[in-house]
Amino acid sequence: MTSLADVKLVGSSDSVSTLLDQLGRDPENPALTAQGAKRIECDVVLLDLSLADKSRPASNVERLRSAGMKVLIFSIGENAGLIREALRAGALGLVRKSDPLEHAIEEARAIADGKPVITKELAAAIDGDTEFSRAALSPRERETLRLYASGFAQVQVARRMGIKQSTVKTNIDRIREKYARIGRPAPTKIDLRIRAIEDGLVDPEDDVISAEKKL
């Protein structure tokens, strides 16, 4: 049985605006605390893709991310278009409503710990979308991304590739630019790991230790 000792429900709502209000955020500027409100911290939001107010998944994900929250899609998992829209906006994974609650909690924990949740539904949504094409990365950029997305720091990547750390940073900046140009932005290291998993450069189960063994 999954332990709930480290899990706390801090709010629930049928719209993102109301949830932000519950958590003490300004709905018009989610990065700010609403005037006179008590700010309640929230790590992960389980977001239904079809809310009563008919809001778009992309807008909802962007608003939650602006408030500093990570987003886990909570859906029947059948509308690939809505899943792709949420992914483009920065959602980090998907759990099905038909799954046991314990599974959703475990996946939320994973996201809170900085690990993207890659599911079959997620992979299918990506595979079925031509806009999720691979960025035209050079061999050097692909190797940089593979190592960096596996968990290595820039200085470690530089050491393993035999190049300067400044070159690694330049490669990462170029990688981010290329992904942004094709509508797959990756502003954070977690985002880069997701892109590397999507493009087959990194195994979702890999961590730094398993990556070390492959070198």
- The answer on 43 and 77 residing in a single domain is yes
Last residue of a domain, one of 127, 147, 171: 127
Q: Which of 178, 201, 197, 6 is nearest to 116 (CA)?
A: 197
For 150-165, what is each residue's pLDDT tens digit?
999 999 999 999 999 9
Q: Please state the pTM of the whole predicted model.
A: 0.63
Question: Taking the chain, what is the end-to-end CA distance rounded to the nearest angstrom?
Answer: 37
Paired sense of beta strands 25-26 and 29-33, if any: antiparallel
Count of C-beta atoms within a 10 Å radius of residue 120: 10
pLDDT digits (tens, 9 = 90+) for 60-102: 999 999 999 999 998 886 677 788 888 878 888 888 888 888 8
Given a cut of 70, whether residue 132 has pLDDT beyond it is: no
37 and 101 both lie in a single domain: yes
Q: Mark whether 58 and 81 lie in a shared domain.
A: yes
**Pairing status of strand 94-96 against strand 29-33:** unpaired
Residue 58 belongs to a domain with what CATH number? 3.40.50.2300
Average of pLDDT values for 39-60?
A: 91
My answer on whether 118 and 145 are in the same domain is no
Domain that holds residue 28: 16-127
Cβ-proximal residues to 184 (8 Å cutoff; 6+ apart), any chain: 88, 132, 135, 195, 198
Pick the last residue of a domain from 127, 154, 169.
127
* Six token digits for residue 63: 């608003």
